[in-house]
Amino acid sequence: MASFDPLLRRRSLLAALATAALPLGSLAQNAWPDRAIKLIVPFPPGGSTDVAGRVLGLAMQSRMDGQPLVIDNRAGAAGAIGTDAVAKATADGYTLGVGGVGSMVTLKLLGRKLPYDAEKDLAVVGHMGSLGLAIGVRSSLAVRNLQELIAYAKAHPGKISYGSSGNGSPGHLGYEYLKSQTGMDGTHIPYRGDAPLVTDVLGGQVDVGVLTGSGAVAQARNSNLRLLAVTSSKRFAQLPDVPTVAESGVAGFDATIWNVLIAPDGTTAPVIARLNAALVAAMDDKAVLAQFDSQGLIPTKMTPRETADFIRREREKWDKVVRAANLQLTD
């Protein structure tokens, strides 16, 4: 017959009482995830943000006990509607979102009234990759590289016009950033996307076009459009002969459309850590890398802390650009 140990019995009883005292939320988190996870993409299907969310979400599933990440597209207000839905969701790890440079940083800097505070209402999980822009000019303009464009704009103040996909868009801000770094000139003309912008660059109505990566790749063989540089820190895989702005003489220049994985503030640290590990591992998936290459996306691995620091640096950088150019959006 086994001997009776009062001390062992007391310890067992205390352990049982401690477990019983745990809130139901803590027990639920221990079992996380036990159902599908919703990933809110704040843009329509088909764009680079949607592609990044779907590709990474699919690759993360095998690392999340096989639970699916279901895409929920909630477009509108330059990403603010979908981001607000994440901010107001229950912080249980079952609602995530894709936060972008606009909804996380620049919309607020540009004066847009937002229903959420990105710094207080959202938890950052990790980086989801970035997409550079491309600077192209009409072939009839007498410049063959970025340094010649900078020199031409300085020598002809008030004569150069440049177009982007809209006021406050990444292309608009990216070119203003270039102006602030070089002292060059240029008058902004907003468009509704790459297609009408390219049409007017080719037709000579505007001198310079700041295109999205996919828009530039689509025009790579158009002899009437000369691509001078890409704004990311690395060259596009599909445009290996087009140098970066930094390689073209503007040291340290980096302006991209980036995405980060976000969750409602209050999501527990263990859940954030597991999501980050799944996201980072997905960046090594061959299928993910192939899809990113096809879209011009640059995979980026970061911890939650590194991602938060990255966003802070982006906020500081774009705040200076917005203030220098006196840019504001109106609701």
Overall fold of domain 36-131+257-325: D-Maltodextrin-Binding Protein; domain 2 (3.40.190)
Question: Which superfamily, per CATH, for 132-230?
Answer: Periplasmic binding protein-like II (3.40.190.10)
pLDDT tens readout for residues 161-198: 999 999 999 999 999 999 999 999 999 999 988 889 99
* pLDDT over 60 (residue 111): yes
Residue 122 zone, left/alpha/beta (φ > 0; ψ -120 to 50; rest): beta
Query: What are the tens digits of pLDDT across the range 43-53?
Result: 999 888 999 99
269-314 pLDDT, tens digit per residue, is 999 999 999 999 999 999 999 999 888 889 999 999 999 999 999 9
pTM (predicted TM-score): 0.87
How is the chain split into domains, by residue range? 36-131+257-325, 132-230
Cα dist. 306→96, 125, 313 in Å?
19, 10, 11
- 3 state SS of 297: strand
User: Is 132-230 in the same CATH topology as 36-131+257-325?
Assistant: yes
Which stretch of DSSP H or E encloses residue 256? strand 256-264
- Is 171 exposed, middle or buried, given 0-12, 13-18 or 19+ CB atoms closer than 10 A? buried
